[in-house]
Structure 1
């Protein structure tokens, strides 16, 4: 058996490096920046006023000055201020040539074209200088950032209209099983409601991928292979039918197509597969719902983040609040809740792969090494909150 970390490295090795694309600012939200943004202009591009008031020479205050014009945002006063003169100025408007400070309007008295400045003012008061925020060529947004509105606003302010980003990967998925019935439909003998498609569709969206639902495929290997071969995707994920039973259609359909099926030393999620079908990377997960949720966190999420250019979130050490048992020889991936900086299993059923109805109680996963047969209160385990 290979370890979960070894299996993840194998999956990483299957992925094709993404190719950046150029998009408008409006289409960049949520994408990851591939090429850093540097300012195309000075920000601000000219000296401007931080207040409504009067632009003047600091050397003329205090005193009574003659108002010779007005500078408003987008409508600068184009003259040159002389000694004894002031210009009415509004917030954001260009400071006229010759002026070196702005006095707020509430501090002055105006009478017609005369404005009285009662006290001294320092040179540079209430002036935002050209390039104070950024100079041409300064770094504004670094590569690797998942773009949010504040990043796009900064790029726009820097005069940048388009961005080079990593595109959202298309990830196709299919589920298998003749026993599966859509949620809301009545159950017949031996049937269960299907949940893995919901897990994958919503998880892929949360991870920043474009999900492509290939549907539910019955227990027939040729149907599985046909669906995977026809998928237009950067990655395909299957669930179920990957073990050693008599009715394992994923293994039957894909083993000869380029997918290697292995046992991974983990609980839940031992039966796994990974490889290529027609040049497309394929990850084959077990079918039990909790195993699928766990494998999304350990394998699918990292693959999507790698395709998006997103770094992998760290696992953090936390103490166990209670004791629990572990499977010998396999790393245990335990759904847990976090209370007062410590963790405990989210359910009394532990990490059983069938306990999907109780999965909603969990807020994180804890990893217990394969050489541990039990966790005692205070033992340190590696924990990460769900990323999808």
Structure 2
């Protein structure tokens, strides 16, 4: 199966899917991103800048380096004094008139027949236009003998070689990495404006849940979703606000959701199916929610609600742990990245060779948890094993999600598939990265 066969623009559902009210993922992503505002900027210390998104253009206020400086330990000389062909038999001898360590300026100018001993990084003295490497000379405190000629300007880093005054060196919307942090320090920017981090209120629902510090009976299950989602929020650069567990009554759910409306995003897990105790839909409406969709044409993660409550983004994710994580990846994370000021919102995508057999119905887009490896210069991927939506071990073992489009019914060993990476840039230095969907859902 070729890339063209595997990933198409269609991803179209048949009439049965439409009648079920399922929303295509790419349509849902567009709806979510269209509804997502960018947050404002705040002034932060450079020490807190790593991973933040720059909220201003950084313009260079002076050249770097600010003056011509030596790239070597050696001797600053006039090229006219050493331009002849020299040899061990006919060396040139120059008088050493000064020593200039890094961080100091020469007090003298280099004249004919003279040299200044200079250290790496020190400014080039007036009169000199070339630096001789110390290992290419024979020297004493008072003189230096030159056995090997150098080209004019050798071993000098010119003023502005790195950046020049007035240059826009880092653009607004750039995520700060160690390189950007170092450049900010070179430019003496102790504070910068960065986009605010989205605050995400997280709520789990269900009488069957017990929190980590509760005494619970055997019929209870541990609330893992809140903590998995909180970690995903932090991984996306946000601030998680845990609201605890809402019991299975409309009043309890309404109260908890109301507490979360001070955040930028509200994320619920559970209570979005059609059971007798699934009150999310009615409570959202009671709170004045403007809802956009309730079901997605994906697996895992079909029952999923999205809308706005009092102007805040509200997501109702499925209760199964894997479903909540997969749907967070596809919808909540992109919204957070847009809020944070990033210009692209998706995970890196690579193409890989599928190693197994897989079949499904042509009704939903599947995201299989996978393990991506590189063998003999090619990417290969296999599933983590059982793909049950309640099996959190499938996410623990996974470093990627295998994206199987709606219209694909089966995969065979050797077929090409698109793979969403889950651990950042682990593979992108070796792989061609492809866009991952609409609205600039590209590598970030």
TM-score by length of 1: 0.91
Q: Counterpart of 1:294?
A: 326
Matches within 5 A, 1:233-252: 233-252=263-282
For residue 319 of structure 1, report the CA deviation from its aligned partner.
4.0
CA deviation vs aligned residue, 1:132-190 (integer Å, no higher than 9, x gap): 22221234334433211121112222344433322221111111111112348665243
The whole-number CA distance in structure 2 between the counterparts of 1:259 and 1:284 is 13
CA deviation vs aligned residue, 1:190-240 (integer Å, no higher than 9, x gap): 321221012111111111111111111211222222222222311111101
Question: Which residue of 123, 127, 131 maps to 1:98?
Answer: 127
Q: Counterpart of 1:334?
A: 368
Decide which moves more: 93-102 or 62-71.
62-71
The whole-number CA distance in structure 1 between the counterparts of 2:136 and 2:411 is 70
Instruction: Determine if contact 2:200/2:267 at 8 Å carries over to the other structure.
Output: yes
- 1:129/1:342 CA distance change after superposition, 3 Å: closer
Instruction: Determine if contact 2:399/2:423 at 8 Å carries over to the other structure.
Output: no
The whole-number CA distance in structure 1 between the counterparts of 2:272 and 2:256 is 16
- 1:380/1:90 CA distance change after superposition, 3 Å: closer
TM-score by length of 2: 0.80
**What is the aligned length?**
386
For residue 47 of structure 1, report the CA deviation from its aligned partner.
1.1
Residue 227 of structure 2 aligns to a residue in which SS?
Answer: helix
Instruction: Determine if contact 1:338/1:363 at 8 Å carries over to the other structure.
Output: yes
Instruction: Determine if contact 2:372/2:399 at 8 Å carries over to the other structure.
Output: yes
The whole-number CA distance in structure 1 between the counterparts of 2:113 and 2:219 is 94
Question: Which residue of 313, 316, 319 maps to 2:347?
Answer: 313
Q: Counterpart of 1:386?
A: 422
For residue 346 of structure 1, report the CA deviation from its aligned partner.
1.9
The whole-number CA distance in structure 2 between the counterparts of 1:117 and 1:292 is 72
The whole-number CA distance in structure 2 between the counterparts of 1:65 and 1:286 is 80
Residue 334 of structure 1 aligns to a residue in which SS?
Answer: strand
Question: Which residue of 246, 259, 263 maps to 1:217?
Answer: 246
Instruction: Determine if contact 2:369/2:394 at 8 Å carries over to the other structure.
Output: no
Residue 67 of structure 1 aligns to a residue in which SS?
Answer: strand
The whole-number CA distance in structure 2 between the counterparts of 1:118 and 1:318 is 57
- 1:359/1:120 CA distance change after superposition, 3 Å: closer
Instruction: Determine if contact 1:37/1:141 at 8 Å carries over to the other structure.
Output: yes
Q: Counterpart of 1:26?
A: 47
CA deviation vs aligned residue, 1:53-103 (integer Å, no higher than 9, x gap): 221212223533332222222221133222122222122111111111122
Q: Counterpart of 2:259?
A: 230
Instruction: Determine if contact 1:221/1:251 at 8 Å carries over to the other structure.
Output: no
For residue 111 of structure 1, report the CA deviation from its aligned partner.
4.2
The whole-number CA distance in structure 1 between the counterparts of 2:99 and 2:253 is 74
Matches within 5 A, 1:338-353: 338=372, 341-348=379-386, 350=387, 352-353=388-389
- 1:360/1:111 CA distance change after superposition, 3 Å: closer
Decide which moves more: 94-103 or 58-67.
58-67
Instruction: Determine if contact 1:169/1:304 at 8 Å carries over to the other structure.
Output: yes
- 1:85/1:373 CA distance change after superposition, 3 Å: closer
Question: Which residue of 363, 366, 377 maps to 2:402?
Answer: 366
The whole-number CA distance in structure 1 between the counterparts of 2:138 and 2:412 is 76
- 1:274/1:259 CA distance change after superposition, 3 Å: farther
Structure 2 unaligned spans of 5+: 1-21, 83-90, 425-444
Q: Counterpart of 1:180?
A: 209
Instruction: Determine if contact 2:78/2:129 at 8 Å carries over to the other structure.
Output: yes
The whole-number CA distance in structure 2 between the counterparts of 1:81 and 1:385 is 58
The whole-number CA distance in structure 2 between the counterparts of 1:210 and 1:220 is 28
Residue 8 of structure 1 aligns to a residue in which SS?
Answer: helix
Residue 32 of structure 1 aligns to a residue in which SS?
Answer: coil
Instruction: Determine if contact 1:269/1:294 at 8 Å carries over to the other structure.
Output: yes
Q: Counterpart of 1:59?
A: 80
